[in-house]
A and B are shown apart, each in its own frame.
Chain A
Amino acid sequence: MEKFTTLEGVAAPMPLVNIDTDMIIPKQFLKTIKRTGLGKNLFDEMRYDAQGQEIPDFVLNQPAYRDAKILIAGDNFGCGSSREHAPWALADFGIRCVISTSFADIFFNNCFKNGILPIVLPQSEVDKLMDDAARGANAVITVDLENQTISGPDGGTISFDVEPFRKHCLLNGLDDIGLTMQKAASIDAFEAQYKTAAPWI
């Protein structure tokens, strides 16, 4: 997994609440058997019309946000299905950080497995960043994971929380499976006692 240390880039505002995983990556793109190449279809039905032409109003089609690396989003971002294609599409587009007041549980988990940092902040701070993001290409925001800070374009700094284990994995680009396999002895021991306690499983 790609490491996440600091990220500096343009933030795109998406104030809509309940942006669901069907919006992030519609089902017709779930037929891939690869993890890559989904960036061009990120937010496909909001971004392109039925003929495949860009919809100019959509935020990521506007010149200032075409290379956005950060999203500032409304409540409950990523609700809906468990499709990891959603963070794959975000990462493939180049978005490595999403900031909102709340995230859906499975999407939130999936981000950390793909080098994307989802940050939960209080409404007032999300509102402030949303205003900053509305300034377009001038809205360069810096996210520093080590120090858990976000620096806005006007020099202000916001702190954020992140679970220590998840922070450690992101900073170092660690693969969960490798870490768990180091605990193979614990899994073996659990299975051995479990076979006696619950043989029907």
Chain B
Amino acid sequence: MAKTLYDKIWDAHVVHEADDGTCLLYIDRHLVHEVTSPQAFEGLRLNNRTVRAPDKTIAVPDHNVPTTLDRANGIENPESKIQVDALDKNAKDFGIHYYPVSDVRQGIVHIVGPEQGWTLPGMTVVCGDSHTATHGAFGSLAHGIGTSEVEHVLATQTLIQKKSKNMKVEITGHLRPGVTAKDITMAVIGATGTAGGTGYVIEYCGSAIEDLSMEGRMTVCNMAIEGGARAGLIAPDEKTFAYCMGRPHAPKGAAWEAALTYWKTLKTDEGAHFDKVLTIKGEDIAPLVTWGTSPEDVLPITATVPSPDDYTGGKVEAVRRSLAYMGLTPGQKLSDVAIDTVFIGSCTNGRIEDLREVAAIMKGKKVKDGLRAMIVPGSGLVRAQAEEEGIADILKDAGFEWRMAGCSMCLAMNPDQLSPEERCVSTSNRNFEGRQGRGGRTHLASPAMAAAAAITGRLTDVRELG
């Protein structure tokens, strides 16, 4: 029977299947960070259990870490410090791979995994973090899990799962200038809604997806969770193999050849069944921004703020609440909305290509006076590469703060936060109420759109900058 890519990866990892279809799935890579793991390690200790496969378990602190240049002096917030110290200790006690804050390879767990070659095609990858979907860009089945499941994977290297349905999202044609991977993924969520993917694993395909670099594909898959899907994935191709080759933990020599032969089979068979299909023309996607407090609240930058009357059902009240929270009025032009802050970073857009995109727009330009503009590279290695390429100098000269690696203002667990009513264009993934700081107002956008806004001080169509 013809199989989808998801079917193939699933079948290759079933350890046991019960009569009701509940499966025990083998996990190839378990990524761990400091926020969702302490209770899991505590559970192991209480039950005298060990980590079954420490060689497949990789930990890095990212959510709580300061991103200021003086962070080697330690973490000021006592609770954050306890969490990071707990991860240090747990990694050592249980013998798992670890990249401490002091290591240049430290960064956001979803950037470090691929960068170090831990993430490879055809794998199952889990992490106590919903943006684990990022790794699907390699044609691996990757998704977030809760802390009880983190403990389960640590103890057994398996996960109890029921299979999801298959959804295909095809982006045909090619993107127009000024439109990026971030706009693709936001356009999909705008079309499906935040629950449109619930119960599905999405395979993204089509020529506009094939055109994307690995960095762009990671951006697309990263936000699959924002559409409610368990995971998003993209079939591996020559770009994928080229990205993986030579990475520290990628196979070498004969093992590489054997892996490559297998990876080339990782594509959906002709005629395989999808339970749901969404097709979007690449040419129809415009540069997008969010106006509300849900990632589905997406509009082209040329649009105006909607009214609650444009909606039905429970969304009417939700839109009313969003507009009050965001301080926006129906009918207002999005491009007239003045901003206070620009945040560039996160597991969605904290990779080298994102920084190149920003630098290309900022070259010879300045961040508007009075604006707070921050760049937080996704890893220490991204930061180092940007410095080597001269990107860091362009960005610093333009007036951006050039920070150390971490999750930072994407979720504001460290000191990088918005104040009440502070309005931010952010390259991150969630515009929820309070996400970037209590009362803070988030507009999600691509790195290019964030750069354009940094120059003008308002939401701006990057295509107008020429």
Contact = CB atoms under 8 A, between A and B. Distances in A.
Interface stretch (B148-156, B332-340, B378-386): B148-156
Contacts, number: 186
Interface string A78-122: 011111100100000000000000111110011001100000000
A102 B80 contact: no
Given A16-B317, A176-B152, A22 B198 contact: no
Given A16-B314, A22-B433, A180-B24, A31 B195 contact: no
For the side of the interface on A, what is the size category? 35 or more
B314 A81 contact: no
Contact of B413 (A28, A50, A84, A190): A28
Contact of B82 (A31, A84, A165): A31
Contact of A18 (B151, B194, B438): B194
Given A16-B321, A30-B35, A190-B15, A199 B255 contact: yes
Nearest to B439: A50
A106 B144 contact: yes
Interface residues of B, number: 81
A87 B15 CA distance: 29
A75 interface: yes
Given A31-B80, A33-B86, A187 B144 contact: no
B21 to A, nearest CB: 9
B26 A194 contact: yes
Given A82-B130, A177-B156, A32 B79 contact: yes
A187 B147 contact: no
B348 interface: no
A177 to B, nearest CB: 5
B49 interface: yes
A163 B258 CA distance: 40
Nearest to A81: B130
B413 A105 contact: no
A82 B145 contact: yes
Interface of B: 15-16, 18, 20, 22, 24, 26, 28, 35-36, 38-39, 42-43, 47, 49, 52, 56, 63-64, 77, 79-80, 82-83, 86, 120, 122-123, 128-130, 143-149, 151-152, 155-158, 160, 162, 194-195, 198-199, 225, 228-230, 250-251, 255-256, 258-259, 262, 294, 296, 313-315, 317-318, 321, 411-413, 420, 430, 432-435, 438-439
